Every structure is written in structure tokens, then in C-alpha cells.
Amino acid sequence: RLQPGPVADLPASLGEAQVAAAHCRRCGLCEAATQTVWGDGDPDAGIMIVGEQPGDQEDLAGRPFVGPAGQVLKEAMAQAELGPVWLTNAVKHFKFRTTGKRRIHQAPNRGEIDHCRWWLDLERRFIKPRLTLALGATAAYALTGDASPLRARRGMVETARDGGPVLVTWHPSFTLRQSGQAAVQARAELVEDLTKLRAMQA
Ligand code: URA
């Protein structure tokens, strides 16, 4: 007679979700990455900021936004006078290729983003953000299901798959890849959007 197999319990808290995510094998990215990088910050802040995926430094540290992109983000948040937030990523493992000793970032593909959305959705159920900021196209796609280019969406408020408002802005790494006036403008637009997020909080 057939017996039901073991059914993994759904994590009952944010802490349980973090522990479960540390053992995730839903896609191949866990093979090469050092560890799962879960969200961090104030879980009661009411604001969730979602990036793409951990970078080299985040992969080693096990915390989001501790590298160069995080530095840009934190400076922009300070300029916008934005208070505590919950910081996380759409994809929770670092994807890279290796050249010599260097690990070069590679953008996650649609399948990897979709697999990892299981964790993002669960994280959102525990954090219950009133407002979400999507940094770049990967986060915007994961949150809204819309993969269209970012340029026409930057600064706009969209609706998350789970219903809440999502403000779309540049990824801080995008501002680092620009030079001259384009870099100045992208950085100013990031601060402008963070200021809008703060105003939406009120
Ligand atoms: N870029 C991201 O999208 N997230 C991080 O945590 C670091 C860099």
C-alpha cells in the first residue's frame, strides 16, 4: 500500500526560512557559491529593498550589500535620509565565471530568478513590507513579473505579484558602470527615487 512521503514543513518564521534557505538546492547556483545570502536589516521597517544577487564580497561575508554596490546604495540612502529597511536580493546565491583568480559577476537567468522567487515570496510573507524598492531589472522582474526594459520604468510605482507597491529604480552597480555626466545623473536619479520612497512612507 502506498504511504505518503515526508512533506517538508513550510518555514514558520523568518528565522526558519533563513535556515532552510541555507540548504537550498532549487537550482545549480548553490554548487559554486560559498553560501546562501539571506536578507538583512530591520524586519519591522515596512520597507524592503531588493537587489539582483549577492556579489563577490557578499558571497564571502554572507550578508547583502557589503561591497561596492552596497556602498553606493548606503550613501544614496543617507542622502535621501531614508531610515531602517530590510535589504535582500531576488537571487540568493552569487553567480559568476572565473578568470584566473577573479570571480566575475554573471547575471542570473530567468529560470534561476523564477526558482529563487520561492524564497523571495516566503521572505515577503514574513516581512510584510508596505513599500518595496526594486533595484534594477532582475528585482523588478522577480517582484512584478514584468521583464520589460528599465529605462521607461525607472521612478514609476508598479504593483508586486503579491499586491503591494513597488518603486522601480536603477541598480547601484549600473550607476558604477556609467562614466561622466551619465554617472552623475544615474546617481542623482537613485537618490531621487529613494527620497520618493521616504515620502511614500509618510
Ligand atoms: N548587488 C546586489 O544586487 N546585491 C548585493 O547584495 C550586492 C550587490
CATH number of domain containing 82: 3.40.470.10
- pLDDT, residue 1, reads 62
Is 85 a domain residue?
Answer: yes
Is 5 a domain residue?
Answer: no
Is 139 a domain residue?
Answer: yes
Q: Say how many domains are in the chain.
A: 1
Query: pLDDT tens digits, the chain, 202 residues: what are they?
Result: 666 666 678 999 999 999 999 999 999 999 999 999 999 999 999 999 999 999 999 999 999 999 999 999 999 999 999 999 999 999 999 999 999 999 999 999 999 999 999 999 999 999 999 999 999 999 999 999 999 999 999 999 999 999 999 999 999 999 999 999 999 999 999 999 999 999 999 8
Model-level pTM greater than 0.80? yes
Q: How far is the CA of 83 from the centre of ligand 1 (A)?
A: 19
Is 160 a domain residue?
Answer: yes
Domain extent for 39? 14-201
Give 40's contacts (C-beta < 8 A, 6+ positions apart).
63, 64, 65, 86, 87, 88
- Burial of 192 (C-beta count, 10 Å sphere; 0-12/13-18/19+): middle
Closest ligand 1 atom to the C-alpha of 173? 1
Beta-sheet strands, E only, within 79-186:
86-89, 96-99, 102-105, 131-135, 157-159, 165-169
Is 8 a domain residue?
Answer: no
